[in-house]
A = this chain, B = another copy of it.
Amino acid sequence: MSKYAIIVAGGSGSRMLSEVPKQFMLLNGQPIIIHTVKRFLAVADLEIVVVLPEAHLDRWLAIKNTYFQGQHGITETIGGSTRFQSVKNGLAKISGEAGYVSVHDAVRPLIKTSLINESFAQASRHDSAVLVVKSKDSLRKIDGESNQAIDREKIYQVQTPQTFELALFRKAYEQPESNAFTDDASVIESHGHRVHTINGDYANLKITTPEDLVIAESLLKFADL
């Protein structure tokens, strides 16, 4: 089957107290996004589209040239003003009609290649495969002045990659954008399809704060990616 990945590197870095957007910050001496792309490059016969803000294009091309010179199968495109628009732009760079597409956050560099492969395998059976892990903490709904415990047994944290059958994914992305689209699974769901979930990995951290970077560095030492 044809396999594609859209790696979304949209962050502006404002939460990292840094001028360098988080996807370019160094993790064990290499930009975070380089770690992430390497995990996907280890998947056989995969085409990768990196989506990033126009302001970061030159920086990306420079490090791509440093780390992946002569490597085929990595292209890039400019993101939009929202995650939905960015994924849509990434999708437009994919020419194939059939196959499967895996959308992943650039700032999740600890994704195991075995899990990416598993998500393609599961999507080929169920049309979708979305990584989830059970919430470890008690949860509480806070809505204005009211707040209330909620049953954590049924609540899962959603990760990426989220992998989908390509034609289904294209159709879902023809919908008008909605604020309810927090991830690709919600776009598919809004299009009327049931989403298939698979077991994610607690170590598949999304790096959004300086302390996450510290955590990722130590996990990387122990990781069997």
* Residue positions of A touching B, CB distance < 8 A: 130, 132, 135-143, 147-150, 152, 154-159, 180, 182-183, 185-186, 189, 194-195, 197, 202-203, 206, 208-209, 211, 214-215, 217-219, 221-222
Contact = CB atoms under 8 A, between A and B. Distances in A.
Nearest to A133: B137
A147 B222 CA distance: 33
21 contacts: A132-B142, A135-B139, A138-B158, A139-B156, A141-B155, A142-B154, A142-B155, A142-B197, A147-B194, A149-B183, A149-B185, A149-B189, A150-B155, A202-B209, A202-B211, A203-B211, A211-B222, A214-B222, A215-B215, A215-B218, A215-B219
Given A135-B157, A155-B150, A203-B211, A185 B140 contact: yes
Contact of A138 (B139, B142, B152, B182): B182
Contacts of A158: 137-140, 149
B148 A189 contact: yes
A149 B186 contact: yes
A219 B209 contact: no
Given A140-B155, A140-B195, A150-B155, 13 more contacts: A135-B135, A136-B208, A137-B158, A137-B159, A138-B157, A138-B158, A138-B183, A138-B186, A140-B197, A141-B156, A147-B197, A149-B189, A218-B218
